[in-house]
Chains A and B, each alone.
Chain A
Amino acid sequence: MIRVVLVDDHELFRAGVRGELGDRVEIVGEAGSVAEAVPLIHDLDPDVVLLDVHLPDGGGEAVIAAVSQERPGVKFLALSVSDAAEDVIGVIRAGARGYVTKTISSEELTDAVARVSEGDAVFSPRLAGFVLDAFRAGDPVGPDAELETLTPREREVLQLIARGYRYKEIAARLHLSIKTVEAHVSSVLRKLQLSSRHELTRWAHERRLI
Chain B
Amino acid sequence: MTMTLRINGQEKTFDAPPDMPLLWVLRDVLGMTGTKFGCGIAQCGACTVHVDGKPVRSCLLPVNAVGDRAVTTIEGIGNTDAGARVQKAWLDIEVIQCGYCQSGQIMSAAALLAATPHPDDSDINAAMAGNICRCGTYVRIREAIKRAAGEREEAKNG
Do they bind each other?
Answer: no
Chain B positions within 8 Å of A, measured between CB atoms, are none
Chain A positions within 8 Å of B, measured between CB atoms, are none
